[in-house]
Amino acid sequence: MTPIQECIQNKNNNINAIWIMRQAGRYLPEFREIRAKNPDFIKLCLTESLSTEITLQPIRRFNFDAAIIFSDILMLPFGLGQEVKFEKGLGPKLGELDLDRFTNINKDEFNKKLNPIYKSISNLSVNPILKDKDLIGFVGAPWTILVYMINKMSPKKNLSKKIFEDKLFIKKLLVIIEKFLKIHIENQIKAGASIIQIFDSWAGLLEENIPEYIYEPTLNLVNHVKKLDTPVICFPRGINDYKTFCDVVNPDMVNIDYNINPRKAVKEIKIPIQGGLDPKVLLTDKEILKKEVKNYLDIFKDHPYVFNLGHGILPETKIEMVNELVNFVRNYK
């Protein structure tokens, strides 16, 4: 059994397992080299040989306990036929949203568009580098996907108030999103993903309608993954009440963000926990890093815990700081 599965399934709290969100990314010089030659991000995600190579890069460097497929949560709207582009300095830009077209989309057409992702997972699942490690597939949570599809860009830049106006439209779109997220999840598991993580990047935007837009749609996905006999991790970033989320949605593990007090989390959350460290700590110095990491490891010493960050690793992070982090976690007693 892999270290992360040991933590999730057997609630083992003596594992010191570690992986990092966005571990295959811009802080790695070998990734930057590939990216410089491949400016089209969507095309890069759909180039089987390159996405496979990028997924393995952080494993070769740091020997993490899991690889996470190099892809993006916005492959879902892309698969549905909505235009998705990534512009430097601006992030994702999405095209017009055609609900009638999405309603009539063919499952085979969706699968064909995203098939290179599944091929990459299949290749990785038999790669000897990943022996005794997990291969994580992932999706965006329904709410986060809906926000991007309607807002057509990151809500961090500009959140359209129209999102909350037409509740019937939102319900119809959520049904379509949920249907195809389940297909996308199932395809990743069939290809060889051993864990699924659900990223609700914009859960923190909502102050009301949380059961309707976050708990219920995410619970439907979690139950779907569990029926496929695969562990599921949820990351409802920015949500105010992690305890209620865990009680209602009941994933196998929850990733906490860096705004959550870890002492409060360990008291309130009964399921295994992952993450929490502010990625900015990796931009400080080695002594501060070790102090902050030790704080998390001490707090979760008697709780099933996988070390990770409270958000994705930052592009300006230095390699030596990641090495320091991994060595400290591995040698912690």
Cβ–Cβ < 8 Å for 144, 75: no
| CATH number of the domain enclosing 218 | 3.20.20.210
CB 38 within 8 A of CB 45: no
* Domain boundaries, position 295: 3-331
Domain count, the chain: 1
Q: What is the DSSP letter of 312?
A: P
For the cut 70, the answer to whether the pLDDT of residue 162 exceeds it is no
Residues of the chain with pLDDT > 70, as a percent, come to 98
Say how many CA atoms lie within 13 Å of 138 toward its Cβ: 24
Q: Give residue 329's pLDDT.
A: 98
* pLDDT for residue 101: 85
State pLDDT tens for residues 29-46: 999 999 999 999 999 999
- The Cα diameter of the chain in Å comes to 57
Rounded (5°) CA angle 245-326-51: 75
- Residue given tokens 């009440």 in the structure block: 241
SS3 (DSSP) at 9: helix
For the ranges 49-53, 96-100, 188-192, the lowest mean pLDDT is seen at 96-100
pTM equals 0.96
